Amino acid sequence: MAHSHMISLSLYVLLFLGCLAQLGRPQPRLRGKTQCDIQKLNAQEPSFRFPSEAGLTEFWDSNNPEFGCAGVEFERNTVQPKGLRLPHYSNVPKFVYVVEGTGVQGTVIPGCAETFESQGESFWGGQEQPGKGQEGQEQGSKGGQEGRRQRFPDRHQKLRRFQKGDVLILLPGFTQWTYNDGDVPLVTVALLDVANEANQLDLQSRKFFLAGNPQQGGGKEGHQGQQQQHRNIFSGFDDQLLADAFNVDLKIIQKLKGPKDQRGSTVRAEKLQLFLPEYSEQEQQPQQQQEQQQHGVGRGWRSNGLEETLCTVKLSENIGLPQEADVFNPRAGRITTVNSQKIPILSSLQLSAERGFLYSNAIFAPHWNINAHSALYVIRGNARIQVVDHKGNKVFDDEVKQGQLIIVPQYFAVIKKAGNQGFEYVAFKTNDNAMINPLVGRLSAFRAIPEEVLRSSFQISSEEAEELKYGRQEALLLSEQSQQGKREVA
């Protein structure tokens, strides 16, 4: 977001969203090159619902052409309190925004250490400092279960707490699970980037579950309306082969496959005791800064590849807090972005996001997305949105409401005006440093063009060209007040 080496010649020199260029770095993206002949966009709610024991997964119908053009799918997940989303991995990166609630996220990164410890429920309050010398002993030599568990607490990889306003990155091929240990339902929305380079399968999302037999809805197959009863990946293997591999009894393998498990993808897990470093507002901020700094050093100064390990990868960031805004107009609203400057791994995934809050009747300056598609989900409130294609045709003109999604393709011109209640949204973008070009205001294309060129282009007078160029002093977010103020003067 910082903008260096630029000479501040005038008041019009401003920091700008994503204007830090990626010169010299290739942008490896080749999206749905098959079909982008968009005649009409839609503001949609989810089309398919997959309820489970302690949650609900909803999918948007990705047969709509704008999904194919953008190479994305979209889903919304609700996890009830004490609900556990079963461990699974996906063939596509998921970029999640937490709309409501709080939870714990587990991401398994193979080869990384089990750096967290928990104690089993039955040992709650028991021996907390097992003798270290005993750990190295062979498991076979232990007396029994009791003795074994006394010797060492349960170990596992890092757990990450998240909350409303966070973005989370779920890496493709990495096992994920989520637990809602809060008191309110956990609601998340997610972009599934099926056209992502990391996905070497076809343009359809797939989930591979390690447990349960969840109904599937991701991908176009699920969108045909047929709910498919999938099974977990253990189901396909022979019992004896698995028992040999795990070195356990056949009856445990039967439970692993769980053929009669009807709980779905999110199950009730009443008594889950997960130990996390105590969370507080004060602690969170410094920790995040430190992580970021560490990465900056690794990437920028000497990118010899050795100090970069997935084990300490940063996978989340809060973009809901007002104080983190990147663009702010006290009369019109604020915008917070998260890009590869804030979460470095986004440069591999070529994704970024923008959290916007437009105040009542404020206007987001008409603009186009220079290097990304945008999938905008309405968190709260409503807005009137118009989208125009390269022929000057209006491909969308409607009110969008809470819970709806609209995909605006790259280059298409768009204008948004918040309703009376204001307008809150999160927009996912298919570039790690998404740029927009506004048509109005202090950062507009018109400001950059000589007045004389505008005069000849539009066959207007100098005065009119000047009004077009300087009629708005605000930048991206335009207030209603300012407009009226100008009118009174004019």
Interface with a second copy in residues 101-120 (CB under 8 A): 106, 108-116, 118, 120
Task: Say whether residue 200 binds a second copy (CB under 8 A).
Answer: yes
Q: Does residue 168 belong to the site contacting a second copy (CB under 8 A)?
A: no
Q: How far is the CB of 266 from a second copy (least distance, A)?
A: 11
Instruction: Work out whether 272 is an interface residue with a second copy (CB under 8 A).
Output: yes
Rounded to an integer, what distance in angstroms lies between the CA atom of residue 186 and that of residue 131? 39
One character per residue 343-362, x = contact with a second copy (rule: CB under 8 A): -xx-xx-x------------
Shortest distance in whole angstroms from residue 281 CB to a second copy? 25
Considering the rule CB under 8 A, would residue 322 count as an interface residue with a second copy? no
Please tell me whether residue 15 binds a second copy under the rule CB under 8 A.
yes
Out of 40, 47, 51, 87, which residue is the one contacting a second copy (CB under 8 A)?
87
Smallest gap from residue 256 Cβ to a second copy (A): 6
477 contacts a second copy (rule: CB under 8 A): no
Q: Which residue, among 315, 288, 338, 344, has the nearest Cα to 105 in the 3D structure?
A: 315
Q: Quick one: which of 126, 131, 147, 173 contacts a second copy (CB under 8 A)?
A: 173
Q: Which is nearer to a second copy, 63 or 228 (CB)?
A: 228
Q: Exposed, middle or buried, 471 (CB in 10 Å: 0-12/13-18/19+)? A: middle
* Cβ-Cβ contacts under 8 Å for 116 (sequence gap 6 or more): 155, 156, 157, 158, 159, 275, 276
User: Is the torsion defined by CA of 233, 235, 236, 237 positive or negative?
Assistant: positive
Q: Which is nearer to a second copy, 357 or 446 (CB)?
A: 446
Residue 284 lies near a second copy (rule: CB under 8 A): no
Beta strands in 142-275 (DSSP E): 154-156, 159-163, 166-170, 176-179, 186-192, 207-209, 215-216, 228-229, 266-268
Chain positions 42 to 61 lying near a second copy, rule: CB under 8 A, are none
Tokens of 485: 């103020």
Decide if residue 125 touches a second copy (CB under 8 A): no
Tokens of 144: 């029994």
Choose between 102 and 157: whose C-beta lies nearer to a second copy.
157
* Tokens encoding 308: 């970069």
* Distant-in-sequence contacts of 154-157, Cβ < 8 A, 24+ apart: 154/117, 154/118, 154/119, 154/120, 155/114, 155/116, 155/117, 155/118, 156/106, 156/114, 156/116, 156/117, 156/118, 157/106, 157/107, 157/108, 157/109, 157/112, 157/113, 157/114, 157/115, 157/116
- To a second copy, the closest distance from the beta carbon of 12 in angstroms equals 6
- Strands (DSSP E) along 389-461, which ranges? 394-401, 405-408, 413-429, 436-438
Count residues binding a second copy (CB under 8 A): 217
CA 205 to chain centre: 16
- The answer to whether residue 91 forms part of the interface with a second copy (CB under 8 A) is yes
Does residue 11 belong to the site contacting a second copy (CB under 8 A)? yes
Shorter beta-carbon distance to a second copy: residue 365 or 378: 365
Instruction: Single out the segment in contact with a second copy by CB under 8 A; choices: 182-190, 211-219, 283-291, 399-407.
Output: 211-219
Q: How far apart (Å, rounded) are the C-alpha atoms in residues 217 and 227?
A: 7
Closest distance to a second copy from the beta carbon of 96 (Å): 19
The residue among 64 and 403 lying less far from a second copy, judged by its C-beta, is: 64
236: contact with a second copy by CB under 8 A: yes
14 binds a second copy (CB under 8 A): yes
Residue showing tokens 């005065």? 463
C-alpha–C-alpha distance, residues 319 and 146, integer Å: 46
From residue 379 to residue 418, what is the string marking binding to a second copy with x (rule CB under 8 A)? -----x-xxxxxxxxxx-x-----------xxx-x-x-x-
Instruction: Verify binding: residue 217, a second copy, rule CB under 8 A.
Output: no
CB 367 within 8 A of CB 409: no
Minimum CB separation from a second copy for residue 323, in Å? Answer: 23
Least separation in angstroms between residue 103's CB and a second copy is 13
Span near a second copy by CB under 8 A; candidates 73-81, 181-189, 324-332, 339-347: 339-347
In angstroms, what is the minimal distance from the CB of 276 to a second copy? 11
Select from 202, 226, 250, 289 the one that contacts a second copy (CB under 8 A): 202
| DSSP string for 359-378 | PTT-EEEEEEESS--EEEEE
From the list 374, 385, 376, the residue with the least C-alpha distance to 404 is 376
Burial 405-441 (b: 16+ CB within 10 A, else e): bbbbbbebbbbbbbbeebbbbbbbbbbbbbbbbbebb
Q: Contacts with a second copy in 411-470 (CB under 8 A)?
A: 411, 413, 415, 417, 430, 435-440, 443, 445, 447-453, 456-460, 462-464, 466-470
Q: Which of 259/321 has CB closer to a second copy? A: 259
